[in-house]
Amino acid sequence: MEDIKAYVQQHKDRFINELIELLKIPSVSADTAYSQDVIDTADAVKESLSKAGCDFVEICDTPGYPIVYGEKIIDPNLPTVLVYGHYDVQPPDPMELWTSPPFEPVIKKTEIHPEGAIFARGACDDKGQMYMHVKALEYMVQSNTLPCNVKFMIEGEEEVGSKSLGWFVERNHEKLKNDVILISDTGMISNQQPSITTGLRGLSYVEVEVTGPNRDLHSGLYGGAVANPINVLAKMIASLHDENNHITIPGFYDKVEELSLEERAEMAKAPFSLEKYKKALDLNDVYGEKGYVTNERNSIRPTLDVNGIWGGYQGEGAKTVIASKAFAKISMRLVPNQDWEEITELFVKHFTSIAPAGVTVKVTPHHGGQGYVTPIDSIGYQAANMAYTETFGVPAIPVRSGGSIPIVALFEKELKSKTILMGFGLDSDAIHSPNEHFGIFNYLKGIETIPLFYKYFVELSK
| Touching a second copy, residues 99-158 (CB under 8 A) | none
Residue with Cβ nearer a second copy (233 or 444): 233
- Residue 362 to residue 2: CA distance in whole angstroms: 60
Amino acid at 245: N
Given 118, 148, 396, 431, the residue binding a second copy (CB under 8 A)? 431
90 near a second copy, judged by CB under 8 A:
yes
Residue by residue, DSSP assigns 40-57 as: HHHHHHHHHHHHHT-SEE
161 near a second copy, judged by CB under 8 A:
yes
Centroid of chain to Cα 372: 13
Restricting to residues 277-316, which ones interact with a second copy according to CB under 8 A? 281-289, 294-295, 297-298, 301-303, 305-316
Amino acid at 8: V
209 near a second copy, judged by CB under 8 A:
no
| Rg of the Cα atoms in the chain | 23
Query: Pick from 209, 233, 231, 234: which is nearest to 222 by CA?
Result: 231
Cβ distance 226 to 212 under 8 Å?
yes
Restricting to residues 231-270, which ones interact with a second copy according to CB under 8 A? 231, 233-235, 237-239, 241
- What minimum distance in Å lies between the beta carbon of 231 and a second copy? 5
Tell me the C-alpha to C-alpha distance, in Å, between residue 308 and each of 15, 209, 346, 403, 425. Answer: 37, 12, 21, 18, 26
Residue with Cβ nearer a second copy (20 or 354): 354
Restricting to residues 309-338, which ones interact with a second copy according to CB under 8 A? 309-323, 326-329, 331, 333
Given 31, 58, 345, 412, the residue binding a second copy (CB under 8 A)? 31
- Residue 270 to residue 62: CA distance in whole angstroms: 41
In 24-85, where does DSSP find H-type helix? 35-52
- What minimum distance in Å lies between the beta carbon of 313 and a second copy? 4
On the CB side of 201, CA atoms within 13 Å amount to: 20
- Give the other-Cβ count within 10 Å of 48's Cβ: 26
395 near a second copy, judged by CB under 8 A:
no
- What minimum distance in Å lies between the beta carbon of 321 and a second copy? 5
Mask 397-426, x = binds a second copy (CB under 8 A)? ----xxxx----------------------
Cβ distance 200 to 408 under 8 Å?
yes
Mask 358-387, x = binds a second copy (CB under 8 A)? x-x-----xx--------------------
430 near a second copy, judged by CB under 8 A:
yes
- Residue 435 to residue 416: CA distance in whole angstroms: 38
Give the strand pairing for 106-108 and 67-72. Answer: unpaired
- Residue 18 to residue 29: CA distance in whole angstroms: 21
Candidates 6-14, 230-238, 265-273, 453-461: pick the segment binding a second copy (CB under 8 A): 230-238
- What minimum distance in Å lies between the beta carbon of 280 and a second copy? 8
Residue with Cβ nearer a second copy (94 or 393): 94
Given 64, 85, 187, 336, the residue binding a second copy (CB under 8 A)? 187
Residue with Cβ nearer a second copy (80 or 129): 129
Residue with Cβ nearer a second copy (141 or 234): 234
